[in-house]
């Protein structure tokens, strides 16, 4: 069964040409890349996901790129808006299309956009991506004021504490999700460069004694 599933995922359907199959695969990859970018941005409270940038996408089209070839999106960091041009492996690793991407960045900057190239490998870097996807699943979680204050008071009084310890302070159907949701609001911090576990340390955004 695993072999059959793998074959169905990597081989064209009987009535689909190889060209159409590659296009469908690239479209799915592009949608996934957009979602990964959004998760990474949403995990950082200092950043705000804005969405696509039509003028830069039009520049890409004039250079011969299809809509599914690149993942282009704007992100707001404080008062500055950056245009991320995320480049899939199959474009980044080939000399000619990667040269066109560099040209796209140049043209976008000439048009007044703060364009930055981001290889797919950077987007998919672990454990940050997995941690960001975990935090993304807490977006819909709501935490009552009493539980929020209990978590913050504990951190203020005791300093950095592990996730499981803080979850015990929360009365919620998903106590871990409720505490992790505080990361996305900027109320508490956690190291996204290390895999999030029940023993991951969390702290207030402005720990006592910080300059």
- Cα→Cα distances 161→44, 123, 148, 165, 207, Å: 20, 29, 15, 7, 12
CA–CA dist 49, 43 (Å, integer)? 10
Q: What is the pLDDT along the chain (211 residues), one digit of tens a residue?
A: 444 444 445 555 567 788 788 889 889 999 999 999 999 999 999 999 999 999 999 999 999 999 999 999 999 998 999 999 999 999 999 999 999 999 999 999 999 999 999 999 999 999 999 999 999 999 889 899 999 999 999 999 999 999 999 999 999 999 999 999 999 999 999 999 999 999 999 999 875 545 4
Tell me the whole-structure pTM to 2 decimals: 0.84
**What are phi and psi for residue 99, nearest 5 degrees?**
-65, -40
What residue spans define the domains of the chain? 18-124, 130-204
Fold of 130-204: Arc Repressor Mutant, subunit A (1.10.10)
Residues in contact with 139: Cβ distance below 8 Å, sequence separation at least 6, in sequence order: 42, 181, 184
The DSSP result for 8-72, as a single string, is: HHHS--TTS-HHHHHHHHHHHHHHHHHHHHHHHHHT-TTEEEEE--HHHHHHHHHTT--TTT-EE
DSSP 8-state assignment for residue 172: S
CATH of domain 18-124: 3.30.300
Cβ contact 61:67 at 8 Å: yes
């Amino acid at each position: 069964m695993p072999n059959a599933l793998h074959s169905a995922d990597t081989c064209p359907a009987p009535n689909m040409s190889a060209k159409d199959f590659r296009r469908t695969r690239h479209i799915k990859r592009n949608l996934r890349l957009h979602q990964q970018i959004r998760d990474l941005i949403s995990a950082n409270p200092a950043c705000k996901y804005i969405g696509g940038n039509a003028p830069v996408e039009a520049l890409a089209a004039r250079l011969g790129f299809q809509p599914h070839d690149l993942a282009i999106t704007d992100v707001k960091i404080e008062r500055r808006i950056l245009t991320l041009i995320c480049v899939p492996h199959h474009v980044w690793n080939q000399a000619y299309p990667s040269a066109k991407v560099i040209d796209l960045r140049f043209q976008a900057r000439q048009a007044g956009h703060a364009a930055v190239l981001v290889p797919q490998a950077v987007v998919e870097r672990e454990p940050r991506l997995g941690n960001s996807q975990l935090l993304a699943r807490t977006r819909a979680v709501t935490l009552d004021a009493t539980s929020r204050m209990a978590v913050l008071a504990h951190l203020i009084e005791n300093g950095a504490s592990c996730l499981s310890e803080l979850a015990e302070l929360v009365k919620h159907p998903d106590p871990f999700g409720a505490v992790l949701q505080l990361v996305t609001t900027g109320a508490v911090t956690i190291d996204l460069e290390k895999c999030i576990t029940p023993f991951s340390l969390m702290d207030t955004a402005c720990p006592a004694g910080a300059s």
